[in-house]
Copies of this chain bind each other. A is one copy, B any other.
Amino acid sequence: MKYSIGVDIGGTKVKVVILDECKVIHKYELKTNKENNGEFIIKEIVDSICNYINNNDIKYEMIYSIGVGVPGPVVNDVVKFCVNLGWGEKNVVVEFLNLLPFKTFISCLNDANATIYAEIYNKYNSAVMVTLGTGIGGGIFNGTVLEGFNGSAGEIGHINVSNPYHFKCNCGLHNCFETVASSTGIQNIYKFKTNIDLDCKEIFTKAINNDTISLEVIEEVCDYIGRVCSILSVTINPEIIIIGGGVSLAGGFLLDKINYYFNKYSFNSVKNTNIILSVLKNDSGGIGVALYAKEKRKCVSKSET
């Protein structure tokens, strides 16, 4: 019996999952201790893992791998920075290895990429994920997770999209994709047209019920999303594009319109790219990074033998 552990470090709590093969057999949380620029975070995680192992009569050699997900850019297992944790550049793998009382395989991944890994694991060889939340995130998977030169691959919320609003993005630029297709962006377009503050979910409900202005807003938003999906597919040509995040809860109503505009803008050879809705469940960040580290260890072991 071998266990894989996934640690999802967030700004307020750390979620830990223990997997036996691909099944979660245990999970727990601890508070993220941000004192002194987060210098105790890793020590407290290691202590909690050791407690779990000792209390459950698990032998150290049964821990096949530990995956660590962090809310910041990661390149080759090294964290570039995590504003939310107070971390600058940090070699998380080395810190875990120094603190753990046993040897195991450790790997580190950006938390959004960990989530995507959970989504596509054992299903697709290549995928692009478009996460439409209060902002827009993304991830690219092509055999493995694409991290990019400084961990910024998949920052698709900041793709420049021509639009008549020119809302200012949190990043300082104008015309970023997330200013017109995140839930915030949808609300802002609706307000621009009506001068009314309405929640994104309500705008969708009204659109489904054929309210003219809401429908106009959603059509326009799906035009932006379809256009960006067409850009992503002609650039990366993934097997599948997965739409996730809060906005994706609008379901088939949203997906049909995205597909319509995707087809309108797409180059012939990528027109058949499937676009689907995310099916992610709870704890996907921890599960994803646990699976990622497990597969990476398998791969490394293979090439060493």
Residues in chain A within 8 A of chain B (CB atoms): 73, 125-126, 138, 140, 142, 146-156, 158-160, 162, 171-173, 176, 227, 230-232, 234-239, 265-270, 273, 302-303
Contact = CB atoms under 8 A, between A and B. Distances in A.
A160 to B, nearest CB: 5
A231 to B, nearest CB: 5
A155 B234 contact: yes
Nearest to A162: B162
For A176, A230, A234, which residue has the most chain B Cβ atoms within 10 angstroms? A234
A146 B270 CA distance: 15
Contact of A149 (B237, B267, B268): B237
Contacts of A152: 234, 237, 267, 269-270
A160 B230 contact: yes
Instruction: Give the copy number.
Output: 2
Contacts of A269: 73, 150-152, 155
5 contacts: A150-B270, A155-B237, A171-B267, A236-B236, A302-B303
Contacts of A138: 235
B231 A267 contact: no
Contacts of A266: 173
A32 to B, nearest CB: 23
Nearest to A304: B303
B142 A236 contact: no
A148 B27 CA distance: 37
Contacts of A125: 149
B268 A153 contact: no
Contact of A236 (B140, B227, B237): B140
A180 to B, nearest CB: 13
Given A126-B149, A152-B267, 11 more contacts: A73-B269, A146-B237, A149-B239, A152-B234, A155-B270, A156-B234, A160-B230, A171-B268, A232-B235, A235-B235, A236-B236
A172 B232 contact: no
A150 B303 contact: no
A236 B148 contact: yes
Contacts of A270: 150, 152, 155
A57 to B, nearest CB: 37
Contacts of A149: 125-126, 237-239, 273
Nearest to A238: B149
Contacts of A273: 149
Nearest to A174: B265
A213 B151 CA distance: 41
**In the A-B complex, the 3 residue pairs with the closest CB atoms:** A148-B237, A162-B162, A158-B267
Contacts of A162: 162
A265 B173 contact: yes
B126 A267 contact: no
